[in-house]
Structure 1
Amino acid sequence: MTEKGGYAAPNREQGERIAKYLARAGIASRRDAERMIGEGRVVHNGSTVEHPATFVSPGDIILVDGNPVGEPARTRLWRYHKPDGLLTTHRDPEGRPTVFEKLPADLPRVVSVGRLDLNSEGLLLLTNDGAMARRLELPTTGWHRRYRVRVYGMVDSDKLAALKEGITVDDVRYGPITAEVDSAKGANAWLSVSITEGKNREIRKVMAALGLETTRLIRVAYGPFQLGSLVRGAVAEITGKVLREQLPKDK
């Protein structure tokens, strides 16, 4: 049996799909690896890869942008305290500073688990395994992303409480959100906010729908991993033991 397009269906004896291989090697997420393949940037054993139904076997030679790709290393995970003013991307067409330009030189090539937007700060998880990054981004992990959020405007506690039932903003449905007031002074307030989906600019859009302007957003936890006392711009590796204990089990 073949897949749509005439390519052979996956077979364990064929090896590993090339996009997954590149993700595990820390080159890019699986989705971005597929885009790179479409752009003709990936070479397998001397031939440009033309479709993602290409399989990699031990000893195969893979090049990305002319550079050899090493065998995927053991999976590693780091906590990073992202400052505001950095984009969570490997390259920006406008030349703005990025997270990956500011990382220590001795860090291997890594991808982020999800993103923090330009003006957001706090905990960003980094890994050398793009497949795992994608796995940890999915809401099915049940992991909560927790934030401290400073808002400007008059906070309505009843409206905050109602977010537990979810909310629709500009035809986008957001799942349950837990939001509570930590402190308030005049028109400024600090909130504790917890979400599980992490859609694009979710907190800012939801707060705006409540008539609140988000003036600072700090992620303090991603699932079991905490920002803690990690200083701005610092990176700390999570030990293999902790990683094995905390990663969600395959169902």
Structure 2
Amino acid sequence: MSGDGDDPKRGERIAKWLARAGVASRRDAEKMIAEGRVKLGGKVVETPATFIAPGDHVTVDGKPVAPPERTRLFRYHKPDGLVTTHRDPEGRPTVFEKLPPGLPRLVSVGRLDLTSEGLLLLTNDGALARRLELPSNGWLRRYRVRVHGRVDEKALAALARGVTIEGVQYGPIEAGLDARQGTNAWLTVSLREGKNREIRRVMAHLGLEVTRLIRTAYGPFQLGILPRGAVEEVNAKVLREQLGIDAPKRLREAAAAPLPEPPPEGPRRVPRARSARMGSRRPVRGREGPRGRE
């Protein structure tokens, strides 16, 4: 058996199979199974340890699930005002509703909250999404952050030692001042952990209000000049190089890479060549959702 509990003779566990098919992460797939939403051959699946064999018929909520395809990864320039979920109980517009047609069913690698924007990785392989989210990868997540308030550069530098706020411990954060005009400033912020709303909470701890937050990089993948609301597939060769058999070594190398100097004028000017390496040259423009609060 493999480390995931699969048996070559019996097949693949259904929760993992659903994740690879892009239905949901493995954890969410297990929840779907517990809720009785998954059927195999017309019968409700009772345990995520159920095995799937080639040719088996699987449905979720009565809809057939196609077998997993080759793993694909996409870069998406998320606008603000969209929720990173497939369904929102409050009825707010979601990332997946605004994607252009013709894409496979996708799940996100991590999330960006309603008012955050920038690079969001999407994949048709839920198992890959989970793998890329793991803090043990050590991937650097880089942001351009606009704040309102008085910036204390010494306090920013001290974040490199980590900080504890209301009992929550945050790991080292690299933060630097790029530009300042009156009570507004642009910062470059980089971290490797990415707890929920981490940047906003840390900045609030320093007396700064985040008025705009743009993710510009997730590990080796860059936002570059990808237009707002557009999707671009990562080239298969790049995917093999970054996530192939030598992935652990490559992840460490990418995580340890020094930060480039930020552009002085604003958050969107990135050299074209840097972006082109992370995907194809023809982005698919999507419909832009309504803007939310900054």
Cα RMSD (Å): 1.3
Out of 208, 213, 216, the residue aligned to residue 212 of structure 1 is 208
Q: Are residue 45 (structure 1) and residue 41 (structure 2) matched?
A: yes
Question: Match for residue 4 of structure 1?
Answer: none
Q: What residue in structure 1 maps to residue 55 of structure 2?
A: 59
Helix, strand or coil at the partner of 1:14: coil
Measured against aligned partners, the alpha-carbon deviations of 1:108-166 in whole angstroms (never above 9, x if no partner) come to: 10000000000000000000000000000111111100000001111111111111111
Distance in structure 2 (CA, Å) of the matches to 1:112 and 1:37: 20
Task: State the alpha-carbon separation in 2 of the partners of residues 250 and 145 from structure 1.
Answer: 17
Shift of 1:55: 1.2
Q: Residues 241 and 247 of structure 2 are in contact (CA less than 8 Å); yes or no, is this contact kept in structure 1? A: no
1:83 has 2:79 as partner: yes
Q: Secondary structure at the match of 1:149?
A: strand
Q: Are 1:223 and 2:243 matched, yes or no?
A: no
| 3-state SS, counterpart of residue 101 of structure 1 | coil
Which structure 2 residues correspond to residues 225-244 of structure 1 after superposition, within 5 A?
225-244=221-240
Among candidates 26, 37, 45, match of residue 30 of structure 1:
26
TM-score of the superposition, structure 2-length normalised?
Answer: 0.80
User: Out of 96, 114, 120, which is 2:116 matched to?
Assistant: 120
Aligned residues: 243
Q: Quick one: which of 125, 130, 135 aligns to 2:131? A: 135
Structure 1 stretches lacking a partner, 5+ long: 1-8
Task: Give the Å deviation of 1:250.
Answer: 5.1
Give the counterpart of 1:102 among 93, 98, 103: 98
Of all paired residues, the percent bearing the same amino acid is 71
Taking the aligned partners of 1:186 and 1:59, their CA distance within structure 2 comes to 64
Structure 1 residue 203 displacement after superposition:
0.4
Q: Which residues in structure 2 correspond to 1:16-27 (within 5 Å)?
A: 16-27=12-23
Query: Could you tell me how far 1:10 is from its partner in structure 2?
Result: 5.6
Give the Cα–Cα distance (whole angstroms) in 1 for the partners of residues 161 and 55 of structure 2. 52
Instruction: Say whether residues 1:249 and 2:247 are aligned partners.
Output: yes
- The whole-number CA distance in structure 1 between the counterparts of 2:41 and 2:168 is 44
Q: Which moved more, 1:9-18 or 1:177-186?
A: 9-18
Distance in 1 (alpha carbons) for counterparts of 2:169 and 2:225: 34
Deviations 1:32-83 (A, max 9, x none): 1111111110001221011211111112111111111111000000110000
